[in-house]
Amino acid sequence: MPRIVTYNVHRCVGNDRRLDVARIADVLAALNPDIVALQELDVGRRRTNNVDQAHEIAERLEMVCHFHPAFVVEEERYGDAILTSLPERQVKSGPLPGYPRMPALEPRGALWIEVDVGGRPLQIINTHLGLVPREQQIQASHLAGPAWLEHKDCQWPVILTGDFNATASSVVYRTLTQRLLPARRVAKRKQPNATFPSPLPVLRIDHHFVSPGIEVEDIFAPYDPLARVASDHLPLVMDFELA
């Protein structure tokens, strides 16, 4: 059964303020995923010792890595990635629109790959939305529109995943669930799955959204000591089958 994990890794700096890329990889390795969507990765940034975090995590997991920088400053990059051990190809990456009234907000983006699951194509889109509600709404509407979920190549089945900085009561959530199903709602098993903040998780702001044609078997967050310290978010794990 395929397993996908979404994980905001907080540039691999844990709640103990320690920079440790290997620790993030260890958290993921213990989950044995087939597909990993990561947010808040540093690549070649001075503040994190110039390491290509996306590549290093992928190498430790023996996966292929696709990285999209939400922003670039000279040689320094910061953004999101999708890692997988399945046959894959990148379809698209690009920026998400901001909120014009607040032009200084952190740029955001999305990344889309197609993976082969038992001979069948599956579309995976990973994103990390902004912090301001109006900004989030603009970005969610963009994802739900013709550039992404309504794109001619975005044929079901599809999984939209990532850190949305929004709960199930938000406009963002309602916008996206007009196109896709929330995995938490349709999962056959319902284990504890709050992901933020990791030491005492009470918020569900990391999500998997799925199209018809995907049966969600289980969804959960690991609450072990290593995961609680490695990042300010917990990973959100989903086991699924293609119907």
**Each residue of 16-65: pLDDT tens digit?**
999 999 999 999 999 999 999 999 999 999 999 999 999 999 999 999 99
3-state helix, strand, coil in the chain (%, to 5): 20, 40, 40
Angstrom distance (rounded) from CA 210 to CA 11: 27
What structural domains and CATH numbers belong to the chain? 3-242 (3.60.10.10)
> 119 pLDDT exceeds 90?
yes
Q: What are phi and psi of 48, to 5 degrees?
A: -120, 40
> Other C-beta atoms within 10 Å of 100: how many?
9
**Which residues make beta-bridge pairs with 99?**
none
Q: What are phi and psi of 87, to 5 degrees?
A: -55, 135
Token pair for 212: 């018809």
Instruction: Determine the straight-line distance between the first and last CA of the chain, rounded to whole angstroms.
Output: 12
Average pLDDT, the chain: 96
Asked if residue 41 lies in contact with residue 9, where contact means CB atoms within 8 angstroms, the answer is yes
pLDDT tens string 166-202: 999 999 999 999 999 999 999 999 899 999 999 999 9
pLDDT for the residue 8: 98
